[in-house]
A and B are shown apart, each in its own frame.
Chain A
Amino acid sequence: MGQVTLKGIRKSFGKVDVIRGIDLEVHDGEFMVFVGPSGCGKSTTLRMIAGLETISEGELLIGGQRANDLRPADRGAAMVFQSYALYPHMTVAENMGFALKMAGVAKAQRNEQVGRAAEILRITELLGRYPKELSGGQRQRVAIGRAIVRKPMVFLFDEPLSNLDAALRVNMRIELSRLHKELGATMIYVTHDQVEAMTMGDRIAVFNGGVVEQLGSPMDLYNRPANEFVAGFIGAPRINLVDRPGDGSSTTHRALWDVLATGAPAQARRVGLRPEHLHLVGVEHGVLARVELAEHLGDSSIIYLRVEGLDTLLSAKVGAGNQHVEPGQAVGLAPDAAWALSFDVHRRLAPGS
C-alpha cells in the first residue's frame, strides 16, 4: 500500500541532465536510504517523489497509483526538511495541525490527532510554545510530528539530522528507527552520511552523478559492492585499493599484489581490502611498510601506512591491544586475501572475487 516505484525517472534543468534514469522500488513498510556525495541527485529524487520538483521523464507510482501529476498534498507523502521548516508565527500545536486544518478537519479532532502524535514523540509539554523557543532537537521532533499527524503512506526525510550535534544525532537515529518500527510506515531517508545509511536502512540506494550505482542491504553493499565507487563510499575508513603492478612498480608493490590477488580473477585490475582485514605483523613475516600516523579512537586504532611504490597511504584498523606503533616504525603487512575484492577495468566487481 505504501510502496513507491520509480520507472525510468529523468530530470533536467534546462539542458543539464541531473537525474539520468532511476529505476527502483521501495517496498511497503521499508526504510530505504538514498545515500551519496553532494550533488549526486538524491535530494532531487526525493523532491520529485514529494512533488516539489517536476519529473522530466518516467513514471512515479505511490501506493500503486501514478503520481507524476498529483499535487504534493495529494500524494500521500509527508516530508521532514533539513531545516525543519516550522512556521515561526504558529505554535507547535498549530504547526502540527496545519495540514489537517487545510484538509478541513474539525478542531476537536485536530487537537486529538496532534495530541497523539505529540505523545509518540514525547513533546506534549511543548505544544503551546513557538519554534524560536525550542532547541534544535525539539524542533526536529516537531517537524517529524507534523509529518506523523498527516498519517501519510510514505515519510520522506531530507537529511534531517545534519543540523544536530553528534551526540543528539546518535539519539535521534535510535528514535527514528524506533519510530519506524512503531509506525510500520514506508520511509525514504536521504543522507550523505554513510554511517546513518548503514545503521538505519533496510536497503540502501547509492547515488552518484544522477544514477543509482547499487541498491541492496547494508551488508550486501559492504561485502559485495558493485563497483569501486560503492566500495569507496561505504565503510569508514575508506577501503584500501591497490592497482595491479606494471613495469615500473616497486618490489614491495609486487609483493603486496601477490598476496592480495591470490585467488583473484584474471581481469582484476585493482584489488580492494577493508582496513579491518589488513593485519600488522612483524617485519619479517609480511610486506614491508612504514607507519605514517596512528589515530587512536579508544576501542580501536587506525594505522596509516606507507608502502614504497604506492601513491596513497594504506589504512589498517586494529583493535585494542595491538596499538603500540610509533610513526616511522617498520611493520609487516599481512592482508587477509579471502576478503579481497577485485575490480576490473570498468571499475566493476569482477566475478569470482
Chain B
Amino acid sequence: MNNDRLAPWAAYLIVGVGALIMLAPFYFMFVFATQSRTEIFSLPPPMWFGDDFFNNLKILTERIPFWRNLGWSLYVAIASTALTLLFCSMGGYAFGCFEFRYKNALFAFVMATMLLPSFMNMIPSFMVMDALGWIDQPRALYIPGAASAFGIFLMRQFVVTSVPKDLIEAARMDGCSELGIYWRIVLPLLKPALGTLGLITFIASWNNFMGPLIVMRSPENYTLPLALRSLQSPVDTEWGALMTGSAIATIPLLILFMMSSRQLISGLTAGAVK
C-alpha cells in the first residue's frame, strides 16, 4: 500500500524536474528579453521580468531590419508549406493509388534521397542556385524543398490506409476527371495528414538556418535565424536585443502549435494501427 501511494508522487517529482529543465531555457529567454545587457550578466541572473523590453526592441530594430526579416520568414514558411502540401499530396496519391511502369523503382529512388546527409547538399545546392540566378532570392528557399521525400512518404502511407479504392472508382463512374478526383475526393480525405505535414514543414522552414545561410546575401533578405545570428559578434553582442528578437521569433510557432497540437499527435500516429 505504501508503494502505491509513493509511486505517483515519485513519478510527478521526476517528470516535474525534467519539465523544469526543459522549459528553463525558454523561460529565461523571455525573462532576458525584458532585461538589459548588463542586467543579464549580473550575478545572480535575473529570475523575473524587467522593464527593458522596449529599449531592447529599439536596439534590435536599429541593428537589423527585424520586421522585414520577420516578414520574409513568414513569407517563405507559408510558401514552403503550401507548395509542399500540394506536391507531396499529389506524389503520395500517385504512388499510393496508381499503377505505372517503374513505380517501385521511382519510389525507392525518392526514398533513397532521404539517406543523403543534408551537409552533402550544401555545395551542389549553392551551385544550382547560382546557375539559376536565384542567389539572394526567397524562391531559392521554398522551391527546392517543395516535394520532400518525407512528405511524399507520409502522404502515401495515409492515402493507402484512408482512401479506399472503391471511392475512387465510384468517382470515375460518376464522371469525375482524374484531377477532379484528386481535388474533390482525395484531398478532403487527407486533411489530418495535410495538417500534420503542414505543421512539420512550417516549423522546419521557420527554423531553417543552413538553407538561408547558403543562398542569402543581403541582410534585408535574411530570414529570422540568420538575422538574429548576425546580431552576434565576438566582441559586441547585444544580448538583450538578441533575446528579444528570439522571443518574438518564437511566438508565431507557439500560436500555431497551440492551435494544432492535437492534430499533430493524431496525424503522426494515423495509419499506425489499421
Interface residues of A (CB under 8 A from B): 50-52, 71-74, 77-79, 81-83, 85, 87-89, 98-99, 102-103, 146, 150
Nearest CB in chain B to that of A77: its residue: B173
Nearest CB in chain A to that of B174: its residue: A99
Residues of chain A within 8 A (CB-CB) of B174 are: 73, 98-99, 102, 146, 150
- Shortest beta-carbon distance from B273 to chain A in Å: 19
Cα–Cα distance between A50 and B171 once the two chains are bound (Å): 12
Question: Could you list 11 further interchain pairs (A-B, Cβ under 8 angstroms) beyond the known A51-B173, A89-B188?
Answer: A52-B172, A73-B173, A73-B174, A73-B176, A77-B173, A79-B170, A85-B167, A87-B167, A88-B189, A89-B189, A102-B174
B173 and A52 contacting across the interface, CB-CB below 8 Å:
yes
Residues of chain B within 8 A (CB-CB) of A71 are: 172, 175
Residues of chain A within 8 A (CB-CB) of B170 are: 79, 81, 85, 87, 146
Most chain B Cβ neighbours within 10 Å, of A50, A98, A103: A98
Cα–Cα distance between A74 and B172 once the two chains are bound (Å): 10
A78 and B173 contacting across the interface, CB-CB below 8 Å:
yes
Supply 30 A–B pairs (Cβ within 8 Å), ascending by A.
Answer: A50-B173, A51-B172, A52-B169, A52-B172, A71-B172, A72-B175, A73-B172, A73-B175, A77-B173, A78-B173, A79-B170, A79-B173, A81-B169, A82-B166, A83-B164, A85-B166, A85-B169, A87-B170, A87-B171, A87-B185, A89-B188, A98-B174, A98-B176, A99-B173, A99-B174, A99-B175, A102-B176, A102-B180, A103-B175, A150-B174
Interface residues of B (CB under 8 A from A): 164, 166-167, 169-176, 180, 185, 188-189
Residues of chain A within 8 A (CB-CB) of B173 are: 50-52, 72-73, 77-79, 99
Most chain B Cβ neighbours within 10 Å, of A50, A78, A102, A146: A102
A85 and B164 contacting across the interface, CB-CB below 8 Å:
yes
B166 and A81 contacting across the interface, CB-CB below 8 Å:
yes
Residues of chain A within 8 A (CB-CB) of B185 are: 87
Cα–Cα distance between A83 and B172 once the two chains are bound (Å): 16
Residues of chain B within 8 A (CB-CB) of A50 are: 173
Cα–Cα distance between A51 and B175 once the two chains are bound (Å): 12
Residues of chain B within 8 A (CB-CB) of A79 are: 169-170, 173
B164 and A72 contacting across the interface, CB-CB below 8 Å:
no
A102 and B175 contacting across the interface, CB-CB below 8 Å:
yes
Nearest CB in chain B to that of A103: its residue: B175
Residues of chain B within 8 A (CB-CB) of A82 are: 166
Asked if A83 meets B175 with Cβ closer than 8 Å, knowing A88-B189, A89-B189, A102-B180, the reply is: no
Residues of chain A within 8 A (CB-CB) of B166 are: 81-83, 85
For the complex of A and B, list the 8 residue pairs with the smallest distance between their C-beta atoms, beginning with the closest. A73-B175, A99-B174, A85-B166, A85-B170, A102-B175, A89-B188, A72-B173, A81-B166
- Shortest beta-carbon distance from A103 to chain B in Å: 6
Cα–Cα distance between A247 and B165 once the two chains are bound (Å): 57
- Shortest beta-carbon distance from B104 to chain A in Å: 15
Cα–Cα distance between A83 and B165 once the two chains are bound (Å): 10
- Shortest beta-carbon distance from A51 to chain B in Å: 8
- Shortest beta-carbon distance from A156 to chain B in Å: 9
Cα–Cα distance between A89 and B189 once the two chains are bound (Å): 7
Nearest CB in chain A to that of B185: its residue: A87
